[in-house]
Amino acid sequence: MKKMLISMLLILGLIFTLSACSNEATDSPDGTGIGQVTEIETIYIGALFPSSGAQAELIADLQAAMLVAADIINNSHDIEWDLAQNAGLANYGHAKVEIVFADCGVTAASARVAAEELISQGVSIITGCYDSTLTAAVAEVCQKHGIPMISGSARDDSLTDGEQSFASVFNRIAMSSIQETDLFLNYLNQYNLTTSAGIQSAAIAYINNDYGNTAAEYLETSLNNNGLQVVAIVGYDASSTDFAEPASRMIANAPDVIFQISSTNDLIGMAQVYQGASFTPDLALCYSGGFQQQEFLTAASELGVEFYSGVMVCPDILYDDGDPETTDAKEAAADIFSYIDQLYRQRTQQGMDTSAYLEFASIIVAAQAVDAAGTTDPETLNTVLKETSFAAPYLFSGTIDFDEQGQNSISSGYIATIYGGRYQWVFSPVNTEQNSLAN
């Protein structure tokens, strides 16, 4: 009887194995999602984005960055990064990752429906959605089901302000405006010390929306606390197309430094007005949204202005610490980024920007979480995401570490200035002895 029972169990196990492998052909080696979870040996990561409308081209670039991340994880690459050499998750049977892309629409309601559908298919982790409102809606669904969510580039501070019910499952890699402000003030202090610039007054221009209002309020308080006189605070509507009036109000107060909490078009529009009025502050410090876009780099270069600086995440590929005998972590990050950027250019015919790089990072961290957990159990993954420091040799920071509210507590960005028609690293919060002024 005992032998018969063992035989029956073996037969049942064989039947189960054959059943589990019956859809093996649906998996694709490059990480391109097929929309249906079928195989236990593959880690399925859901990626929700508003794939239609005005942002369609941008979203396609973000998705391309995620596919580069899947390529890095699933195949062996000749770069100094263990994850990129293992051809799969080394601690999880060299399992591959596959991204299941889905359109979350442009409303919170449609985003919730799309999240429910992905979860019903069995994805282990959800990523996306770029837009902060859609991200919050998806995070609510993830909280309902206990599924972890990793946001790469959604920006609104309210996502990790401690007031949200989804903090236990939510994680955001992008810097908050509070982190950006603190980084700017550290840079200003260093700038004053090394150049004797004597910056004493500041003016703030911001988009009048939730993000802009929150960032401007914290910035004003921080500037006052650091002994800088705020001589103007100028808000403008997000739909504005004429920036003569807000830019003129900034110019009229002759600040030593200006802060721009702006998207691409308004940042360009105000830069044009500044240049036309021959207004040249010591520094213009820009929050990441508009500053990081190629359109602004091109516009600033054409205007011939070189006082703009802002937060970047993609490592400067020309970074050099000046010591021919050593290669520090930031220089290594630049080398890894250069390799990743080449893979991205093969897919998009353009260089990778910060938003795309943050979405790339979301897939990398999702894979690292499964690798560290040794399971796709959602409760375990949520614990691992909150309690693990994830190696990020592709970032100047070197690490991603989420706090209890889901905010990456390690500054993922550095200060870059526009110099000679390109972004150039000038300051980061790590290895501060190497910070220099665009030399």
User: Averaging pLDDT over each range in 53-67, 280-294, 398-412, which range is the top one?
Assistant: 398-412
pLDDT at 412: 86
- Please give the average per-residue pLDDT across 268-272, as a whole number: 95
pLDDT at 21 over 60: no
Report whether 437 contacts 195 (CB < 8 A): yes
CB-facing half-sphere around the CA of 233: CA atoms within 13 A: 15
pLDDT at 306: 87
Model confidence pLDDT, tens digit, residues 47-82: 999 987 767 788 999 999 999 999 999 999 999 999
Instruction: Decide: residue 108, CB within 10 A, 0-12 exposed, 13-18 middle, 19+ buried.
Output: middle
pLDDT at 348 over 90: yes
Share of the chain above pLDDT 70, in %: 86
Q: Is the peptide bond before 129 cis (omega within 30 degrees of 0)?
A: yes
pLDDT at 298: 92
- Alpha-carbon distance of 365 to 356, in angstroms, equals 14
Indicate the CATH number for domain 178-312+414-434: 3.40.50.2300
Instruction: Decide: residue 120, CB within 10 A, 0-12 exposed, 13-18 middle, 19+ buried.
Output: exposed
Report whether 190 contacts 435 (CB < 8 A): yes
Amino acid identity, residue 258? I
- Alpha-carbon distance of 439 to 424, in angstroms, equals 9
- Residue 294 φ/ψ, nearest 5 degrees: -60, -35
Q: Which helix H or strand E contains 416, and what residues bound it?
A: strand 414-419
Residues in the chain: 439
pLDDT at 266: 92
Q: Which two tokens stand for residue 63?
A: 């998705």
pLDDT at 23 over 60: no
Give the chain's mean pLDDT: 87
Strands (E), 6-141: 42-49, 96-103, 125-128
Give me the helices (H) in 196-328, please. 210-225, 244-252, 264-276, 288-291, 294-303
Amino acid identity, residue 269? G
- Alpha-carbon distance of 247 to 244, in angstroms, equals 5
pLDDT at 109: 97
The residues, any chain, with a CB within 8 Å of residue 161's CB and separated by 6 or more, are: 405
pLDDT at 6 over 50: no
- Alpha-carbon distance of 48 to 28, in angstroms, equals 19
- Residue 329 φ/ψ, nearest 5 degrees: -65, -35
pLDDT at 4: 43
Closest among 391, 368, 394, 389 to 314, alpha carbons compared: 394
- Please give the average per-residue pLDDT across 338-366, as a whole number: 96
Domain boundaries, the chain: 30-174+336-401, 178-312+414-434
pLDDT at 430: 62
Intrachain domains 30-174+336-401 and 178-312+414-434 with the same fold: yes
Q: Which two tokens stand for residue 125?
A: 């982790």
Put the strands of the sheet holding 229-236 in their side by side order. Answer: 229-236, 201-207, 257-261, 283-286, 308-312, 414-419, 422-427
- Please give the average per-residue pLDDT across 370-381, as a whole number: 95
Model confidence pLDDT, tens digit, residues 111-122: 999 999 999 999
pLDDT at 327: 67
pLDDT at 17 over 50: no
Model confidence pLDDT, tens digit, residues 191-218: 988 888 889 999 999 999 888 999 999 9
The CATH T-level fold of domain 30-174+336-401 is Rossmann fold (3.40.50)
Strands (E), 90-243: 96-103, 125-128, 149-151, 170-172, 201-207, 229-236
